[in-house]
Structure 1
C-alpha cells in the first residue's frame, strides 16, 4: 500500500526515533552547551520534527538529562567490560588508570558538559533528584566491586577504599578538560591536543604502575615508547628554543646554524629551518632517527641522526659557525659517516665549510662547550671543548648547570633547570 504520492508508508519506530534524537541532542549539547542548544537544531541533527522530540521528552532539561544518562550508561558499561579484561590479564591492572581517561574523557565536549551539569546541581540536592541516579549508582557499585576483586588478587595495595579510588580515577580522567585554561597555562597545550593526550596517558600509566606497587618494571624509556611517534614533551621544545637563543646571543649561530636534542631512543627534536635568532615560540621538528626525513626538514639534519645513532651518550647537538682560531679538520663536508667516525668519542669537530659540530650529553653541556670553543686560544678551546677527549672535561660542581643559568639569564622561557 502506498500513500497519495506513491511512496510507501513511513514505518513508525519509537525506539529508533528516541535513539536518533539522543544522538542529535548529544551533538548539539556538546557543541553549544545547555544554554546555547536549541530544540529545533536538535531536530535538524536528528532528522525528525520538533513535535517528535516533545513526544519523547517534555522539555529541553529532560532531554539533556536523558542524553547524559544514556551516555553515562554506555561509557560505564564499556569501562566495566575492559576492567574485567585487565583483572583477568595478570600484570596489566596498571592500565586501568589511563583506561578511565580513554572511556570517560574521550571527548572534550562531553567532559565539559559533565562538568557543567555536576556544578549546576544544588548543594543540598538529594540523591534521588540527581539525573539517572539509580542507574548510575548501580554501575558505580559494580566498578567498586571490581576494585575489591583486584585488591583480593594483590593488584592493589590494602587500605585504598574502592569508592574513593573510583572518585580519584574519575577525577584524574577528566580534570584537565574541566579546567582547560589551567591545563593550557601549565603545559602549553590544550587538553584536546594529541600532544597533551599522549603525555597524559603515559603519565596515567606511570601512575598506575606506582599504584599497583611498581611491579610492572616500566622504565622511562618504555613510557616514552608508549607515546605515539611525533609527540615530544613540551619541556624539550622549551629547552631547544633556549639553547638556540643562547647560541645566537653568543654570536655562534649565524644564519645557518641549528641545534637538536635527543627525544628518546627513536626520535630527535630539531630547530625549524630558520635562523636561530627568529625561532621565537616555534616548536621543534620531530625527526625519526632512521628512515626518510619528514617534510620540511633540511638534509643537513642527516648528520644529527647519524651522531645520535652512533653515540648513545649524546643528548644534544649544536652546529655553529667555526670559532676563530680553531683549525678545520680535513674531512669531506657532506660525508656524514666520515664525520661521525672522525668525531669518535670527542665533543667537537670543525668542518672545512666553516661550521663546527658540538655534541654533549645535555643541552647545558652542549651550550657550554660551544661557548668555550669560541675562546681566542685554539689550544685552550680544544682542551675545554673536549676536542681531545670527552673524558677530559671536568663537569663537577654543577659547572654546566651554572653556566647554563648564566648564559640563558633573561631568556623569555628561563626559570626552570635543564
Structure 2
C-alpha cells in the first residue's frame, strides 16, 4: 500500500538571520575588493538569492557597506566588553586587553581590510554611523578605566592620554596584519609561524606595559 506523502515543511521566515547572512557574505566581498570594486550581484550569487532581495533588506550598496562596517566594529567592541577587565589587577587587565587586540586583529584580517578601505575613502561612511562612534567611545572608556586604576595603584605613570594609548595598542596590532605580506617578503621572515605569532604578541604586550609603567 502506498504511503501518503507528507506535506512539505513550511520555510521559516527569519529576517534577522537573513540580514546576518548577507552581511557575512558582503563582508568578504567588501574586504577583498573595497567599496568601489565590490559587486552586489556577486554577493547575491554567493547567497543564492537575487539582487532584489539584497536591496529589499538594505536599500542600496552604500547602506549595505555601512551595515558591514557597523557589524565589524560591533563584534570587536562586544568581545572587548566581555573581557571582564574590572576583575583583574591593572597590569594583568592591560596585558589581557593588549593580547586580545593583537590576537583578534590577526584572526580577523577582513576587519583590517575594511578599516584600510574606509581610510582610503577618508572615513566618509564611518562618519555617518552614530553606533560606531558610540561603540568606539566605550573602547576608550575601557582603556581609561584600566589605566587610571593603574595610576591610582602606583603601577602606571600618570600623564598618558587614553586615546593615544588606545591608538598605540591598535597600531602595534594593526601592522602585523596590514603589512604582513610586504614585511615578510622584504625581510625574508615567516610572520605566520606559531613561534613568530607568539613572540610578536609577547613583544607588543611588553612594549605597551613598559610604556605605561612607572
Q: TM-score, normalised by structure 2?
A: 0.78
State the partner residue of 1:166. Answer: 166
1-side partners of 2:197 and 2:141: how far apart? 28
Aligned position for 1:20: 21
Q: From the superposition, tell whether residues 73 and 153 of structure 1 become closer, same or farther in structure 2 (CA, over 3 Å).
A: farther
CA RMSD, aligned part only?
3.1
Give how far 1:131 is off.
Answer: 7.3
CA distance in 1, matches of 2:97, 2:43: 35
After TM superposition, give the deviation of residue 47 of structure 1 in Å.
Answer: 4.4
2-structure distance, mates of 1:111, 1:6: 48
SS of residue in 1 equivalent to 2:13: coil
Match of 1:24, SS state, is helix
1:9-408 maps to which residues of 2 (within 5 A)?
9-82=10-83, 84-85=84-85, 87-90=86-89, 91-92=91-92, 93-121=94-122, 128-129=127-128, 132-146=131-145, 147-185=147-185, 187-189=187-189, 191-213=191-213
8 Å Cα contact 2:102/2:173 also seen in 1:
yes
Q: Report how far residue 187 of structure 1 moved.
A: 4.2
Q: 1:192–1:132: structure 2 CA closer, same or farther, 3 Å change rule?
A: farther
Tell me: CA distance 1:35–1:142, structure 2 relative to 1, closer, same or farther (3 Å).
same
User: What runs of 5+ residues in structure 2 fail to find an aligned partner?
Assistant: 1-5
Structure 1 residues 189 and 76: CA distance shift in structure 2, 3 A = farther
Relative to structure 1, the CA distance from residue 177 to residue 205 in structure 2 (aligned partners, 3 Å threshold; closer, same or farther) is same
Deviation by residue 1:242-292 (Cα, 9 ceiling, x = unmatched): xxxxxxxxxxxxxxxxxxxxxxxxxxxxxxxxxxxxxxxxxxxxxxxxxxx
Q: How many pairs does the alignment contain?
A: 206
Distance of 1:211 and 1:47 partners within structure 2: 51
**8 Å contact from structure 1 (residues 39, 50) kept in 2:** yes
Q: Hey, what's the Cα distance between the residues in 1 that align with 2:126 and 2:29? A: 27
Shift of 1:119: 2.6
Change in Cα spacing, 1:41 to 1:148, as seen in structure 2 (3 Å) is farther
Contact 1:69/1:131, CA 8 A, preserved across alignment:
no
Farther-moved stretch of structure 1 (125-134 vs 22-31): 125-134
Cα pair 2:66 2:126 within 8 Å, conserved: no
**1:6, CA displacement in angstroms?**
4.7
Residues of 1 paired with 2:95 and 2:136: CA distance?
24
> Hey, what does 2:3 align to over in structure 1?
none
Distance apart, 1:55 and its partner CA = 1.1
Preserved contact between residue 189 and residue 195 of structure 1 (Cα < 8 Å): no
Deviations, residues 56-106 of structure 1 (Å, cap 9, x unaligned): 212223212211211111111212322x33x42335233432221112342
TM-score, scaled relative to structure 1: 0.43
Q: Which has the higher helix share?
A: 2
Which structure features the higher share of strand residues?
Answer: 1
Please tell me whether the aligned partners of residues 25 and 42 of structure 1 are also in contact (alpha carbons under 8 angstroms): yes
Inter-partner Cα distance in structure 2 for 1:208 and 1:192? 22
| SS in structure 1 at match of 2:82 | helix
- The structure, 1 or 2, with the larger RCO (C-alpha pairs under 8 Å, 6+ apart) is 2
| Contact in 1 for aligned 2:140/2:162 (Cα 8 Å) | no
- CA positional deviation for 1:169: 0.8
Which sits farther off after the overlay, 138-147 or 20-29? 138-147
- Take 2:30 and 2:126, find their aligned partners in 1: how far apart are those partners? 24
